[in-house]
Amino acid sequence: MSGAEVRREGAGVGERIVLDNGTVRLTAAPGLGGRLLSVRLRGREHLYRNPRLLDADLRAVPGVELGPVDGPMSAWNNVGGDKTWPAPQGWDGPGQWAGPPDPVLDSGAYAAEASSAADGSAVLTLTSGDDPRSGLRLRRRITLEPGTAGFRLDLEAVNTSGTARRWALWNVTQIDGSGAAGDAGGVYAGVRGPGPHTVPLVAGNGNPRVLEHAPGVLRVPAQDVVGKVGFPTASGWLAHVGAAGTLTQRFAVAEGGAYPDSGSRAEVWLEAPVDRPLEHLGGLCPVDRVTEVEALGPLADLAPGQATRLAVEFGLGTGTGPVAGVTPDGFWERAPRWDARDPARPRLAGAFTSRRAGSLVHRESGAVLARALPGEPVRFDTPVPGAGAHTPADVDFTPEER
């Protein structure tokens, strides 16, 4: 496949738009809040789909009618997927988004425009209606390049009301939390600075437990709890490791900017089945294990007609090991380091998953350490001639020319 393809199926609430580059296949549902319903790497599904609402073909199961829904959280048709909401969430006044459910931004119909770019990328732009409650119109632009194990999501919120508004963009990626991924499973978050690195946000039946994986990296393991934790010192990357593999996200953070939810730049929400509705959460009664990986933009004061934007770069990998860091080119399971077992013949070792085909090259010497394929982990343990104990271990990724 030389370029990414776009295919449209069905109409109305049942319309599905597929973007496919032969490695990654994305399926969007314009009629269901402009969300992505499916993100697959070589057939492996990464997103959560509610099986009581959607079948394996992402169509409404018999007897289910989907479309705009309003009311308490107990009325929410959470079909799953990846979607965009305004933050902060709450029910105390017009400065908070009282959803989900929400009949415009979460479950309303989005206009869809699909096109192909000159470089062979498939581009899908999804635009909401004008929401009278928040005063916003949301736009989600999805770009899938040829030959990549990842995609880009560009978000925009425009103030279409006649008064000033203050909102932050909030992207919510729902992932099936039932699959086992061993001791490395869960959500990883890069953090920096002195902390505190976490803040408890919602306790449905408890607060999620957070572990330190490595300096500057925290992990929220899978656990039987309904609750949310925020990361006010998030450095701009998140990663989920589950049975399907690894899904990473990169986004810019505004140092010194004001963020919702006690300053949270990123958040993780966990759901697990409960015996009875959680009345203090609007009657929410989870029946599945779901993990939400959430990237936020800063709060923006929007005059009528003004917009705020947030870009999120997604990467995919088949591996289920831990994540030590995410870069524009991929992610490290194990950052490069020298193996000193034989000082006379030092070896450079590491493990990396790239977004596209290319080579891993030791920066100092120019030695090629390994060749990488999109989305496939590559491990190297390679002697580097002329290197010594004090030689920098920095490794660069060099993409293949298309």
CA-to-CA distance for 260 and 89, rounded, in angstroms?
Answer: 9
Quick one: residue 3, left, alpha or beta (phi over 0 = left, psi -120 to 50 = alpha)?
Answer: beta
What average pLDDT does the structure give for the chain? 95
Q: Is the pLDDT of residue 2 over 80?
A: no
- For residue 344, the model assigns a pLDDT of 73
| Closest residue by Cα to residue 22 from 357, 269, 377 | 357
CB 330 within 8 A of CB 353: yes
- For residue 38, the model assigns a pLDDT of 98
CA neighbours closer than 13 Å in the CB half-sphere of residue 126: 28
Over residues 295-312, the mean pLDDT reads: 98
DSSP characters over 259-270: -HHHH-SEEEEE
CA-to-CA distance for 66 and 80, rounded, in angstroms?
Answer: 13
Which amino acid, 318?
T
Q: Is the pTM of this model over 0.85?
A: yes
pLDDT tens track for 314-339:
999 999 999 999 999 999 999 999 98
Confidence tier at 180 by pLDDT (50, 70, 90): low
CA-to-CA distance for 85 and 83, rounded, in angstroms?
Answer: 7
CB 298 within 8 A of CB 168: yes
Query: Mean pLDDT highest for which of 58-72, 120-134, 279-293, 328-342?
Result: 120-134
Q: Is the pLDDT of residue 179 over 90?
A: no
- For residue 181, the model assigns a pLDDT of 67
SS3 of the chain: the string is CCCCEEEEECCHHHCEEEEECCCEEEEEECCCCCEEEEEEECCEECCCECCCCECCCCCECCCCCCCCCCCCHHHCCCCECEEEEEECECCCCCCCECCCCCCCCCCCCCEEEEEECCCCCEEEEEECCCCCCCCEEEEEEEEECCCCCEEEEEEEEEECCCCCEEEEEEEEEEEECCCCCHHHCEEEEEECCCCCCCEEEEECCCCCCCEEEECCEEEECCCCCCEEEEECCEEEEEEEEECCEEEEEEECCCCCCCCHHHHCCEEEEEECCCCCCEHHHCCECCCCCEEEEEEECCCEEECCCCEEEEEEEEEEECCCCCCCEEECCEEEEEEEEEECCCCCCCEEEEEEEECCCEEEEECCCCCEEEEECECCEEEEEEECCCCCCCCCCCEEEEECCC
Confidence tier at 178 by pLDDT (50, 70, 90): confident
Provide the token pair at 276: 């009875």
Which amino acid, 197?
H
